[in-house]
């Protein structure tokens, strides 16, 4: 009777042949293959990392062997607590894995359970180490390179390590992550007890006032942990200090008056704060690499740049960041600062030259007279010789430059970490903007309130007289490049929830709406807000 090959049997044959190929047998196809090995090969088909791992170790198990009970227990325990870290717990399904282990009566059953455990381990270890989401898929302006670990090396490391110690060490081991995790647990406990109480409905409250809304303000700040329990019904000194502390931790002017901006922040519910914390934990996972013994941190939402040396802040200054408009928002990424330019020339970005200045030049060739018109060979062109009206944004053949001066758009110094986004830190002649609480006004670069002092701090490691060196170059009036002998990592971050040096959590508005998009993506993946009673 002829052998009939159905679609099902053909697929099974292909799978079996593929499994044998994965095992890498030097023997003929007819050679006996153990049921366990064949099951592992079949179950890992299509997952190159898992297949490679088992092939290179001769298909020895790490989860289903007689001596692997501790490793099974460590994995299951970690999977069952994944929600504590704000991860999509449904991805890991420890109950299914438990059932697979319990039902593994045959060698083939054990092989399938082995691969299921390996896949869940890789998914969990990747998510908790370097994030469950891919940032660039959520927002194109988050251009951070996520430090994904090699999955084969990850499995190999787990196989050689103490299982419980390995799993415990997977999350970011930073002060920020630990403080955010503690805040997450605190907020969940708050939700389990009903939240922070009624919102404050007043438009403005200030010292000396009394009444129901002052009591509501007092009770809410007590619930938030900004003051001890009190029976006072007046806006006294104790309440004023609590308001000021709240204002400091939320980036508001600490005047002790509960005005509209302060009350708006006070009335935000713990559910929203919890979502901010969960997003911040995910962001911390995206940056789970050493930041550098000395590094620069720019928190876009906080409008602050800091120099950090050996974990301690040694310099801080206010900044202005990109406005919330297409093409102007400051992107998120990390790079390395290599040099500063004193008395810089401003080479106007083409997008600004063509979109903002070309229309002005068409109306009046003498507009923006502080800028030079330069041809492709670097020669300054007389404006009178150019018919600007004949050009479009795509055909405009010139560039625009502003020579060094006090009024230069970049001020008197810029700090360079060459990157494809044309983003850097710099001085500015527009000093008045630094007095505002909300400072999103630039075209994307980061303007420093204290650029000279920032330069001194960077140069202090390579000269005994950083101010003298800086001002000698500055006073020359000529554009001068000063290399940093020790290049400094720069991290442009976006954290609406972050830990202060004292470990308390500060919150900021989501100025670009990025956290809202991340939270929506996390919810779609299965992340949920929990409380201590759920």
Pick the closest to residue 154 from 114, 127, 116, 181 (CA basis): 127
The pair of structure tokens assigned to 430 is 């527009």
CA 375 to chain CA centroid, nearest Å: 40
d(CA 335, CA 416): 10
Q: Position of tokens 């190159």?
A: 48
Instruction: Work out the number of other CB atoms within 10 angstroms of the CB of residue 483.
Output: 11
- Strand 413-416 and strand 440-442: pairing? unpaired
Q: Could you confirm whether 445 is annotated as catalytic?
A: yes
Residues of 118-132 as b/e, b for ≥16 C-beta within 10 angstroms?
bbbbbbbbbbbbbbb
Residue owning tokens 């020339």: 345
Judge whether 491 counts as a catalytic residue.
Answer: no
For residue 312, list its beta bridge partners: 309
Sign, Cα dihedral of 106, 110, 116, 120: positive
| CA proximity to 213, closest of 273, 263, 248, 250 | 263
Kindly name the residue from 295, 426, 443, 491 that is annotated as catalytic. Answer: 426
Taking Cα atoms as reference points, which of 181, 205, 280, 220 lies closest to residue 495?
Answer: 280
The DSSP line for 250-280 is TT----S-B-HHHHHHHTS-HHHHHHHHHHH
H/E element holding 499?
strand 497-499
Those residues with Cβ within 8 angstroms of residue 468's Cβ, 6 or more apart along the chain or in another chain? none
Q: If residue 426 lies in a helix (H) or strand (E), which one and from where to where?
A: strand 425-426
In whole angstroms, what is the distance from residue 5 CA to residue 425 CA?
68
Q: 372 with 401: CB under 8 angstroms?
A: yes
Backbone angles phi, psi at 362, to 5 degrees: -65, -35
d(CA 428, CA 448): 7
Q: How many residues does the chain have?
A: 534
Residue 10 to residue 3: CA distance in whole angstroms: 12
Q: Which residues pair with 440 in a beta bridge?
A: 321
CA distances from 255 to 242, 243, 246, 249, 319 (A): 11, 8, 11, 13, 21
> Tokens in use for 217?
């303000």
* 93-99 contacts at long range (C-beta below 8 A, 24 or more positions apart): 93/120, 94/120
SS3 call for 114: helix
Rounded to whole angstroms, the Cα distance separating 482 from 470 reads: 9
DSSP 423: -
Residues annotated as catalytic are 426, 445
């Amino acid at each position: 009777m002829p052998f009939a090959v159905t679609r099902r049997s053909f697929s099974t044959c292909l799978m079996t042949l593929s499994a044998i190929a994965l095992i890498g047998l030097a023997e003929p196809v007819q050679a006996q293959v153990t049921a366990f090995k064949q099951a592992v090969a079949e179950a890992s088909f299509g997952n190159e990392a898992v297949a490679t791992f088992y092939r290179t170790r001769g298909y020895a198990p790490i989860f289903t062997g007689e001596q692997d009970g501790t490793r099974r227990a460590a994995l299951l325990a970690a999977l069952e607590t994944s929600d504590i870290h704000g991860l999509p717990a449904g991805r890991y399904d420890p109950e299914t894995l438990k059932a697979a282990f319990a039902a593994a009566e045959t060698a083939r059953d054990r092989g399938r359970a082995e691969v299921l455990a390996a896949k869940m381990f890789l998914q969990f270890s990747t998510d908790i180490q370097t994030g469950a989401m891919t940032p660039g898929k959520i927002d194109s302006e988050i251009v951070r390179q996520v430090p994904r670990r090699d999955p084969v090396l990850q499995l190999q490391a787990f196989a050689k390590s103490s299982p419980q110690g390995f799993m415990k060490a997977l999350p970011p081991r930073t002060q920020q992550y630990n403080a955010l995790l503690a805040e997450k647990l605190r907020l969940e406990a708050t939700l389990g007890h009903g939240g922070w109480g009624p919102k404050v409905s007043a438009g403005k409250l200030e010292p000396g006032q009394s009444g129901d809304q002052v009591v509501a303000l007092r009770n809410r700040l007590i619930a938030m942990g900004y003051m001890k329990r009190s029976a006072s019904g007046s806006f006294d000194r104790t309440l004023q200090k609590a308001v000021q502390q709240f204002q400091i931790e939320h980036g508001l002017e600490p005047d002790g008056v509960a005005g509209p901006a302060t009350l708006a922040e006070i009335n935000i519910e713990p559910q929203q704060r919890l979502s901010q914390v969960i997003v911040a934990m995910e962001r911390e996972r995206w940056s789970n690499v050493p930041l550098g013994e000395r590094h620069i941190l720019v928190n876009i939402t906080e409008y602050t740049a800091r120099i950090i040396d050996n974990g301690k802040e040694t310099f801080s200054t206010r900044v202005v960041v990109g406005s919330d408009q297409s093409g102007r928002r400051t992107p998120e990424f990390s790079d390395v600062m290599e040099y500063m330019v004193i008395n810089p020339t401003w080479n106007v970005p083409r997008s600004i030259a063509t979109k903002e200045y070309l229309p002005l030049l068409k109306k009046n060739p003498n507009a923006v007279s502080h800028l030079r018109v330069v041809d492709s060979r670097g020669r300054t062109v007389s404006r009178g010789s150019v018919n600007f009206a004949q050009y479009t944004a795509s055909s405009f053949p010139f560039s625009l430059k502003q020579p060094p001066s006090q009024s230069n758009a970049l001020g008197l110094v810029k700090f360079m970490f060459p990157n494809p986004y044309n983003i850097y830190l710099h001085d500015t002649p527009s000093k008045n903007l630094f007095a505002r609480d909300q400072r999103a006004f630039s075209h994307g670069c980061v303007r420093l309130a204290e650029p000279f002092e920032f330069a001194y701090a960077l140069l202090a490691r390579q000269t005994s007289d950083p101010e003298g060196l800086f001002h000698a170059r500055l006073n020359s009036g000529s554009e001068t490049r000063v290399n940093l002998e020790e290049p400094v990592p720069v991290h442009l971050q976006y954290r609406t929830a972050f830990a202060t040096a004292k470990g308390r959590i500060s919150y900021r508005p989501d100025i670009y709406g990025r956290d809202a998009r991340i939270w929506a993506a996390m919810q779609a993946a299965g992340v949920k807000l929990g409380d201590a009673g759920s």
